Structure 1
Amino acid sequence: MRTTKTTFIAKFFLLSIIIMLISCEKKAKEQNDTTDETAMDSTSQVAVAPKSARPVEWGYEENGPDKWGSLSPVYATCGSGHSQSPIDIQKTKLKTGANLNFAYVPSESFTIAHNNNMDNIVDNGHTIQVTVEGGSVFTFGQKAYNLKQFHFHTPSEHTIDGKHLPMEMHMVHQSEDGSLAVVSILVKEGKAKNKNFENIITNLPSSKGESKDVKNSKIDLTTHFPKNISAYHYIGSLTTPPCTEDVQWVIMEDMISLTAEEIKAFSSRIGKNNRPVQKLYDRKVALDNFSGTTKG
């Protein structure tokens, strides 16, 4: 009787151990399966995640400038950057002795487009953009930048002593190492028509998304510049998401003029597309009388 009882206890104890081992093995397998699935999902997400420089649609009213920095991690610099553009330009006596030179060549043809988002060198947002033939070079200091395109903002993005101008023209350049430089020309209202803009205004797209290839129509870019080439300059950013910084900005001190009708030809199409001015922080804005030339 004692032996039978002892045998029963031994078998019960052994069975309990076996059940415990099976249970532990099952839990371990479940954990491993879960870990493997998580790893697989993670790998799958990385593999299929779409690569986009513009993951979220932005604008100037809905999803406007005050929200850009929070729309996507890709746009975070729009909200957290300390070298953002545009800025308010105030009169300054600071000079650096920097040298500026424009070696622009006439373009025999150009493409003009009105798109919400441009997919080329920089995202210009909602604007009218003109892309010209290559060969025009802008040199700042020792670095050369090739002109890629120019576009317009109404009203101006940069302000002078707190005041906006009716329009601003941005000439976007890129160097061989990928660095960006933007030359800004401010536009004021005048009484005389600006013949230099006739080709552009005549060929302005009539609706968003439209693009025109204009052939055999010479456009001399040097004629867009004011005669005096003294200019403000500072380090800033793109004025649209992703608001990339370390952009060399040059804002011509003198302005060009267009009539109210000519300015309206742009503003009626692109609307208000200016980003508010940003904090200067510890940056310095200099004004230099450049010894370079605007003729190629």
Structure 2
Amino acid sequence: MSRTLHSLTLAAALALAAPLTAQAQHWSYSGDEGPAHWGEHGGADASCATGQQQSPINITGAIPAFAAGPALDWPDTLAGEVVDNGHTVQVTVTGEAGLDLDGRHYRLVQFHFHAESEHQIEGQNAPMEVHFVHAAEDGSLAVVGVMVEVGAAMPALSGIWAIDPDPHGSGGVAAALRLRDFLPTDPAAFRYAGSLTTPPCSEIVSWTVYAHAVTATQAQIDWFAERHPHSNRPVMPHHRRVLLQTAG
């Protein structure tokens, strides 16, 4: 996610959708600029080391709750600009899509991918995870995570991968994307308070992670995993957070 998201304003939240330039990429998923060193950048990035509500986490010990999950308001199809920002493949959406959660409305800004999954469920990673990033007027975020396992093909992925954007360069528009292809049929999910999973690791995210995965073929997963291998932050401590499990 974009480093520009340290200001709690809608303008800053929308900057999450902007692709990073090669010059701006001074963090990585490995080596001297990997996750263990993100907090050394200082400033807003200090949260990566000192924060107490960091993401991702290993989802375990969830408390069954009557709390509602997000009410998604996604159209049947929408278009999105596909870019490779050097860390992930990201789709910046156009059109009206969003969700309502705890009495607040969030607008869908973008979605992107990680391989392996960033979250774990009972200590297990999925081959890939998709994050749907929604922003509220005050700059707070609601992010929906969906695990992707190997299985039947996902048509929506084929349309995105076909753009084949240049790393750090131009992309293209994927039309008529069916976002609900990314959603499991069972709405059971986990909810917790967390953060961005990349610098500046701001703790402004209401996370919803679906309990059940969707599927893509091994070839579809490999297309992304070979381009951005190990593009996942290690899981972070729970500390004293409450993790809820909803029925949907």
* Partner deviation per Cα, 1:222-265 (whole Å, 9 max, x = no partner): 22211111110000000000000031000011110111111001
Q: CA RMSD in A?
A: 1.9
Size of the alignment, in residue pairs?
A: 226
Is contact 1:237–1:246 with CA below 8 Å preserved after alignment? yes
Counterparts of 2:91 and 2:79, CA distance in 1 = 10
Is contact 1:174–1:181 with CA below 8 Å preserved after alignment? yes
Q: Higher strand proportion, which one?
A: 2
List structure 1 segments (4+ residues) > 6 angstroms apart after TM superposition.
53-56
Where in structure 2 are there 5+ consecutive unaligned residues?
Answer: 1-15
Shift of the alpha carbon at 1:90?
1.4
Q: Which amino acid aligns with 1:134?
A: G
Q: Higher helix proportion, which one?
A: 1
- The farther-off stretch of 86-95 and 172-181 is 86-95
Q: Does 1:235 align with 2:189?
A: no
Change (3 A) 1:245 1:174: same
The equivalent residue for 1:249 is: 207
Residue 214 of structure 1 is aligned with which of 173, 176, 188?
173
What is the 5 A alignment of 1:256-271? 256-271=214-229
The equivalent residue for 1:71 is: 41
Is contact 1:134–1:147 with CA below 8 Å preserved after alignment? no
Counterparts of 2:177 and 2:110, CA distance in 1 = 13
Counterparts of 2:66 and 2:137, CA distance in 1 = 24
Q: TM-score when scaled to structure 2?
A: 0.86
Counterparts of 1:98 and 1:238, CA distance in 2 = 22
* Partner deviation per Cα, 1:24-76 (whole Å, 9 max, x = no partner): xxxxxxxxxxxxxxxxxxxxxxxxxxxxx998811111310001111222210
Residue 61 of structure 1 is aligned with which of 30, 38, 43?
30
Is contact 1:109–1:213 with CA below 8 Å preserved after alignment? no
The equivalent residue for 2:6 is: none
Shift of the alpha carbon at 1:210?
2.6
Q: Which amino acid aligns with 1:238?
A: L
Counterparts of 1:236 and 1:242, CA distance in 2 = 13
What is the 5 A alignment of 1:254-293? 254-290=212-248
Counterparts of 1:265 and 1:257, CA distance in 2 = 14
Bigger radius of gyration, 1 or 2?
A: 1
SS in 1 for 2:99: strand
Q: Does 1:194 align with 2:154?
A: yes
Counterparts of 1:79 and 1:91, CA distance in 2 = 24
Where in structure 1 are there 5+ consecutive unaligned residues?
Answer: 1-52, 117-125, 291-296
Relative contact order (alpha carbons < 8 A, sep ≥ 6): 1 or 2 greater?
A: 2
SS in 1 for 2:235: coil
Change (3 A) 1:213 1:106: farther
Q: Does 1:112 align with 2:70?
A: no
What is the 5 A alignment of 1:1-296? 57-62=26-31, 63-116=33-86, 126-190=87-151, 192-205=152-165, 207-214=166-173, 217-290=175-248
What is the percentage of aligned positions where both structures have the same residue?
Answer: 35
Q: Which amino acid aligns with 1:213?
A: G
